Amino acid sequence: MPRLRRFLNAANKKGLGFRVSGFGSDRTLAYLLLAPTLFVLLALSIYPLVHAISLSLQITSGGAARWSLQNFGRLFSDQFFLAALSHTLIYALSALTLEFLLGLALAVLLNRQMRGRTFLRAGMLAPMMLPTVVVGVIWRLMLNPNFGAVNGTLKGIGLNTTALTWTSSPRLAMLSVIVVDVWQWTPFMFLILLAGLQAIPQEPYEAAMIDGSSGWQTFRHVTLPLLKPAILVGLLLRTMDLLRVFDQVFILTEGGPGFATETISLYIYRTAFRFSNFGYAAAMSFVLLLITNIISAFYIRILQARESG
Amino acid sequence: MPFRRAHNNWRLCLRLEDLAQAGLTMRRHLQYPLLLAVLIATLAPIYWMLTISLKREVDQFAVPPRWFSFTPTLEHYSDAFLNRSFGQYLVTSIIVSVCSTFCALVIGTLAAYALARLKMPGGLNRKLSLWILSTRMFPPIVTAVPLFLMMRDLQLLNTRLSLIILYTGFNLPFVVWMMRGFFVEVPRELEEAAMVDGDTRLGALRRVLLPLVAPGLAATAVFCLIISWNEFLFALVLTQTDAAMTLPVGIAGRVTQYEIKWGVMSAAGVVAMLPILVFAMVVQRYLVRGLSLGAVKG
Amino acid sequence: MRIKAGIIVCTLALLLSGGCQSNNSGSKQLTLAVNSGVEGDALKQAARDYEAQTSVHINIVEFPYANLFEKELIDLTARAGAYDLIMLDDPWFPKFASQQLLTELTPLLQSKGLQGPDQDFVQTSIALGREPYETGALYALPYVGNSQLLFYRKDLFAKHNLKEPATWDEALAAAKLISERETTGAPGGGKVYGYVMRAAQGNAAVADFMPIFWAFGGEMFDAAGKPAVNSPEGIAALRFMLELGKYSPPGYASFNADEVGAHLLQGTAAMSINWPAWISAFNDPSRSKVIGKMEFTSLPGAKNPGRAEIGNWLIAIPRDATHKEAAFEFLLWATSGEQMKRSALRGNPPTRKSLFNDPELVTKFQAYPAQLRSLESSRPRPRTPFWNEIENVFGIYLSKANSGELSPDDAMNQANAEIAKILERGK
């Protein structure tokens, strides 16, 4: 802080204050103020990105590195990579759909002044605020086939739970990790959509009422179109997070059983830090980055089209 | 002030919209049972972890599960924090998240001010804002390998400093974007008045603008704290010794063990969770805005 | 406002300075990476004893089995030098040693006036610490002499007139019989499964499969070094594993050591291939419901005589360790007969012949003769630096076959193709 103050004083002494500042010194000040941020971001995102590109274009054999496209060639023949990719997409799509539908339903149903709203919101917020590692722990406890609360409760109401081995069953494991994601992140969708609903002006509703629209028609033709920006933002942010999912799966299943829940981030991590193949890991990262970028560009285009239109 | 106003508007919209949708009376009947169901589904798992952390081992494994009746014990907490290194992980987590939040706030607020108030040529303000935000979209695993190698070359592996630096970087785009939004909302006239009274630009920023956006600054700070507190992947990759392990890494380290120490893990989980829940309560009003990076307003 | 800000700044400055302090330069400080579990616990306690006797301070970093390798590999390949000593499972050794990541021990031994490692070490154990296997330079000393044993419930075998299984067919017949007859025989009235297998992907599935695979005449690699897991013998072995799996508890395709241990301790399974680390647990009343009922013997055979997989824990000094000399002192001390006996008393099988014959230990651990037989006839997993990747892939396919996702033929053919790819890349 003293250093900051010194810096600011120095900036002032150099005549950057209001009285002498014209357009030019504003610009200089702007660059000065932006410099630290740009430096940090260049060092921590752009440089690593460039570094990753060069890593992905090299292969090491016998201790010597040489340039090659082999890492990218391997992508297409690596069935583990393709499986991890498809798991990630299935995971992202299912979780996104469920979170969106549940979130929307909750937002529409609970969009009103009500008693205990603050309390409700605080309660709903809890899961999404938790460290994902803790969420993983919670659900390992809940889903444990022998003494977990889920099977225990089901048994209590007389259900046979021997087949419900959740994360250890190849069929149920993916479902389990998706359910955990839905538990943690539906509140997020709900909150964004609720905020979106509350920002809708009342005039369209009045008009709809005068036209005698039914509740569903109003929802379909008034609420949904006006909610579109909130929906897109919610979907965009969730999609980006879902595509990179790592922590929960790492804790809950470590990609198993077999390969059933291995996601792309997990496979990249394993390739880099378990098999020490940094080059191939970097090549796979690019595919992930590319997919993320294409999808977010798609959302942003829709969003901007609406803004300008 | 702007927040108050927006809040009142919301409430106004709410009532009118309710009138418009009066046809959906069903909602009214569904509301409270639904609310209750959602709350239970949300909170029961968290409560379950809390009970596991307080149960003796015989009660943990009881079938049917004991939700309410068990003899509470603090043995797992003392085991985790006195006998094992969780106390140290906790200290590391606190240091790392507080320091990185502080750095990100200082650096980011200055940049946000420049983007919001100082006009640069060629539409640079808008372009830079978008670029800064876009760095947030990288999946972390993409940069994990290069950043790991970079920290190795700087000899910063296994230090708290490496995590502070990285988390500052993660939080910066968020701080810049949020604070820019808050600054834009404050009318320029207030600052200009101060500057006419003889204040410098930065003086006006400190004495006029910052106090006005203080609630926003606080909310941003809390988000940064939460993000740093929860981060797992980089903490996992960059720490091989207890010296710089954070709570999430410590907890994850107990999970995949031979024999799982459920009580210790849950106790550590509860401690990792509590500060976050408290913060969440404090900032819940600004939360939506924060998480949607101010974009919902459109 | 200003005062408050001042306080915040001061606090932060304090915290930050604390944050940068982590590299203090105590000369007599060692950092030791261990497995969290009974093997690591023994070394941890030894380290505490060592601290009490000397002025050396030892920091212990503990990781679960699944993460330990990763952490060590990251530290060693990054040449970060955070660890002075590492405890490693023997199949990891070729990877570390072939990449020159460990300190050669012979010069250090010579500096102490020793010719080489103590002759007392079991031949199959000390061979693991050499690169190439058995003949090359010495990089690690064996600390825990694990090798697989067949665990079985002698009470149930006696009850049903079954004899100790000498072949896998006999083991299968026993598993079938017990599963059918003991439908309410478990403590608490549940079913006793005839067998319990671990077939979670990775290490678990491979470790439980290898003894069957070898007994059926399977080999990972043919004479030319090409993968050969899909040989007729290999596929027959996997078929047999699935057959045995029918008498295992449901969901065993994702079992790890903890689930298998729990089934045996709870008395809900009658037989398993397992590691000696569990032996002492069966006589611990707070954990076991089968006190005095478990017997341990060497593995059954089939076409070939039964041979266990060896799984020793080694201790090595990373090449970039900061305090090599002090680390070596501790290594010698911890693997000495006297200290290893203490570790043995804490439940870890030794790697020294003299201790397997030590009267005090033999009275306490009656399985020692069987363990020594098993250890001396044991086989290591293939000594290749790619074992880690191969095991990962092989384990995935074994797990898939056991969960019914793939037929044994498909699983072995696909595994073979993937292993071939790994070797091809490594060239």
pLDDT tens column, A100-124: 999 998 888 777 666 677 777 777 8
Q: Is residue B8's pLDDT more than 60? A: no
Residues on chain A touching C396 (C-beta within 8 angstroms): 258-259
The segment with the largest mean pLDDT, out of A215-219, B149-153, B275-279, is B149-153
ipTM of the complex: 0.82
Residues on chain A touching C262 (C-beta within 8 angstroms): 146
Instruction: Provide the shortest C-alpha distance from residue B241 to chain C (in Å).
Output: 6
For A275, the token pair is 């098999």
Instruction: Provide the shortest C-alpha distance from residue A237 to chain B (in Å).
Output: 8
Specify the residue for token string 């977010």.
A296
pLDDT, averaged across chain C: 88
For C30, the token pair is 């060692």
In terms of pTM, does the model score above 0.95? no
Q: Among all residues of chain B, which has the CA nearest to that of C15? A: B95
Among residues B249, B256, B214, the alpha carbon closest in space to that of B229 is found at: B249
Does C399 touch chain A if contact means CB atoms closer than 8 Å?
yes
Across the interface, whether the CB atoms of B240 and C67 are under 8 A apart is answered: no
Q: Across residues C337-341, what is the average pLDDT?
A: 93
Interface of C with B in 23-62 (CB under 8 A): 23, 31, 33, 36-37, 59, 61-62
Specify the residue for token string 């539906």.
A186
Interface of C with A in 200-229 (CB under 8 A): 200-202
Is the Cα dihedral B136, B139, B141, B142 positive or negative? Answer: negative
Of the partner residues A29, A43, A120, the one whose CB lies closest to the CB of residue B118: A29
* Cα–Cα distance for residue pair C30/C21, rounded to 1 Å: 17
Does A60 touch chain C if contact means CB atoms closer than 8 Å?
no
Specify the pLDDT at position A280.
92
pLDDT confidence bin for C23, thresholds 50/70/90:
very low
More confident call, B254 vs A85? A85
| pLDDT tens column, B182-233 | 888 888 888 888 888 877 888 888 888 888 888 888 888 888 998 899 999 9
Residues on chain C touching A165 (C-beta within 8 angstroms): 250-251, 254
Does A113 touch chain C if contact means CB atoms closer than 8 Å?
no
What type of residue sits at position C224? A
Three-state SS at A256: coil
More confident call, A17 vs B181? B181
| pLDDT tens column, C139-192 | 999 999 999 999 999 999 999 999 999 999 999 999 999 999 998 888 877 789
Residues on chain C touching B258 (C-beta within 8 angstroms): 36-37, 64-65, 257-258, 261
What type of residue sits at position C240? F
pLDDT confidence bin for C4, thresholds 50/70/90:
low
* Cα–Cα distance for residue pair A259/A305, rounded to 1 Å: 41
Q: Is residue A1's pLDDT more than 50? A: no
- Find which of C11, C77, C99, C201 to mutate to test the A interface (most A CBs within 10 Å of its CB): C201
Specify the pLDDT at position C37.
79
Specify the pLDDT at position B16.
41
Across the interface, whether the CB atoms of B255 and A197 are under 8 A apart is answered: no
Residue A276, phi then psi, degrees to nearest 5: 45, 35
* Cα–Cα distance for residue pair A57/A178, rounded to 1 Å: 34
Specify the pLDDT at position A20.
38
| Chain B positions touching chain C (beta carbons under 8 Å) | 94-96, 98-99, 102, 148-149, 152, 155, 157-161, 164, 211, 237, 240-244, 253-260
Across the interface, whether the CB atoms of C70 and A273 are under 8 A apart is answered: yes
Across the interface, whether the CB atoms of B45 and A142 are under 8 A apart is answered: yes
The neighbouring-strand residues paired with C316 are: C86, C140
| pLDDT tens column, C274-329 | 988 888 888 888 778 899 999 999 999 999 999 999 999 999 999 999 899 999 99
| Chains interfacing with C (3 or more CB pairs < 8 Å) | A, B
Three-state SS at C274: strand
Q: Is residue B17's pLDDT more than 60? A: no
| pLDDT tens column, B54-98 | 988 777 776 677 778 788 888 889 888 887 788 999 999 999 999
| pLDDT tens column, A9-23 | 555 554 444 343 444
Cα angle at C68 between C62 and C74, to 5 degrees? 115
Range with lowest mean pLDDT among A193-207, B119-133, B280-294, C151-165: B280-294
Task: Please say whether the beta carbons of A252 and A167 come within 8 A.
Answer: yes
For C334, the token pair is 């911890």
- Find which of A164, A254, A271 to mutate to test the C interface (most C CBs within 10 Å of its CB): A254
Residues on chain A touching C94 (C-beta within 8 angstroms): none
Instruction: Provide the shortest C-alpha distance from residue A254 to chain C (in Å).
Output: 10
pLDDT confidence bin for B293, thresholds 50/70/90:
very low
Across the interface, whether the CB atoms of C251 and A165 are under 8 A apart is answered: yes
For A250, the token pair is 């790492």
Residues on chain A touching B172 (C-beta within 8 angstroms): 37, 40-41
Interface of C with B in 192-231 (CB under 8 A): none
Q: What percent of chain A has pLDDT over 70?
A: 87
Specify the pLDDT at position C50.
93
Q: Among all residues of chain A, which has the CA nearest to that of C263? A: A146
More confident call, C359 vs C80? C359
Q: What percent of chain C has pLDDT over 90?
A: 62
Which residues in C6-159 belong to E strands, given as ranges? 29-35, 57-63, 85-89, 130-131, 137-138, 140-144, 149-153
Q: Is residue C257's pLDDT more than 60? A: yes
Q: Among all residues of chain B, which has the CA nearest to that of C76? A: B240
Specify the pLDDT at position C6.
53
Range with lowest mean pLDDT among B174-178, C116-120, C132-136, C252-256: C252-256
Among residues C408, C10, C25, C38, the alpha carbon closest in space to that of C235 is found at: C408
Specify the pLDDT at position C12.
53
Does C79 touch chain B if contact means CB atoms closer than 8 Å?
yes
The segment with the largest mean pLDDT, out of B2-16, B278-292, C392-406, is C392-406
